[in-house]
């Protein structure tokens, strides 16, 4: 599998595979976000997810993938630091704000920052029509957040702080997307990066949330870790898909396509959380999808 992926890097086939992987990551990321804004405290949910995917990654890191090259340990340390800050900000965001308001803000700031940073780090250049696509997608995402905010009835007292944390979280999304894209390109086998990343990344949130875990009623632990196990599988395929996409094709394009996750998030809100979609939200979702299509086709 790794040899095949490496063989199609920079090819037309690799571009098509990257497109599919980015869209898969979008769908799964929306589900991942919804899992953290459900029955349990977001800190507890994230801790349970991290415990589960750390245990799942352990045998792969030790016995399946090639051992990381010496220079990768410094890269892993940087990734751990960036993702730790990201997860802290994300938990603060979800604790304070309604999912359908803060999630689009997080995802709306991410692609714009990522395209700008990828232009510096990877010397990626985009056509004017592609920038127009980014503008359409970002406008649709922020429009969706504003629409949801107007109709918000709960958590209005913490809305301002929630939006502030959401913007900061979006900046960290851009930071980790760009940094991890560099990291996965720095090792010969991309699955080495993924296995060791999940193992190292699984430490922070369980330690931070240890008091909350100890205070959780015993009857809640099984449902919590069931959610954590589901979230771990989703995280593996969501994060793994977008990282492989950034290795196969341009980082900025993969990041923009992933942010169609806001469309999937709205659908999850409609189907699972029984939220109404309505004409305005449907049009905004269409604008997001159109922006992603323009970005991809103009490239």
pLDDT at position 166: 87
Number of domains in the chain: 1
Q: Residue 189 corresponds to which tokens in the numbers above? A: 């086998």
pLDDT at position 275: 65
Main-chain dihedrals φ then ψ at residue 251, nearest 5 degrees: -65, -45
pTM of the full structure: 0.82
pLDDT at position 174: 86
Q: What is the average per-residue pLDDT within 115-143?
A: 83
Query: How confident is the model over 37-59, as pLDDT tens digits?
Result: 556 677 888 889 999 999 999 99
Whether the per-residue pLDDT at 299 is higher than 80: the answer is: no
Q: Residue 244 corresponds to which tokens in the numbers above? A: 């492989």
Which residues, in sequence order, are CB contacts of 196 under 8 Å at separation 6+? 57, 61, 65, 68, 72, 76
pLDDT at position 296: 75
pLDDT at position 298: 75
The domain containing residue 256 runs over which residues? Answer: 2-297
Whether the per-residue pLDDT at 155 is higher than 70: the answer is: no
Torsion of CA 178, 111, 242, 35, to 10 degrees: 120
Q: How far is CA 12 from CA 49, 160, 185, 299, in A?
A: 35, 44, 18, 12
More confident residue, 112 or 247: 247
Whether the per-residue pLDDT at 79 is higher than 90: the answer is: yes
């Amino acid at each position: 599998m790794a040899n095949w992926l490496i063989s199609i890097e920079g090819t037309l086939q690799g571009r098509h595979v990257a497109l599919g992987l980015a869209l898969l990551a979008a769908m799964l990321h929306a589900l991942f976000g919804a899992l953290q804004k459900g029955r349990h405290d977001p800190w507890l949910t994230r801790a349970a997810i991290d415990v589960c995917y750390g245990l799942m990654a352990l045998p792969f890191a030790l016995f399946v993938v090639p051992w990381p090259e010496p220079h990768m340990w410094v890269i892993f340390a940087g990734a751990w630091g960036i993702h730790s800050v990201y997860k802290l900000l994300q938990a603060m965001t979800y604790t304070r704000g309604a999912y359908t308001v803060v999630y689009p803000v997080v995802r709306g700031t991410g692609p714009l920052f990522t395209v700008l940073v990828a232009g510096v780090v990877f010397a990626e250049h985009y056509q004017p029509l592609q920038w127009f696509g980014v503008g359409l997608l970002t406008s649709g995402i922020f429009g969706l957040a504003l629409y949801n905010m107007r109709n918000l009835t709960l958590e209005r007292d913490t809305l301002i702080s929630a939006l502030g944390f959401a913007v900061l979280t979006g900046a960290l999304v851009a930071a980790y997307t760009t940094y991890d894209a560099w990291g996965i390109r720095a090792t010969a086998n991309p699955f080495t990066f993924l296995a060791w990343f999940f193992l190292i990344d699984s430490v922070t949130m369980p330690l931070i949330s240890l008091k909350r875990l100890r205070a959780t009623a015993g009857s809640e632990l099984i449902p919590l870790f069931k959610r954590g196990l589901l979230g771990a599988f989703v995280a593996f395929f969501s994060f793994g898909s977008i990282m492989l996409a950034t290795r196969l094709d341009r980082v900025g394009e993969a990041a923009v396509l992933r942010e169609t996750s806001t469309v999937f998030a709205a659908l999850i809100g409609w189907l699972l959380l029984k939220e109404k979609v309505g004409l305005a939200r449907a049009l905004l979702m269409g604008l997001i999808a159109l922006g992603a299509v323009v970005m991809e086709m103009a490239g």
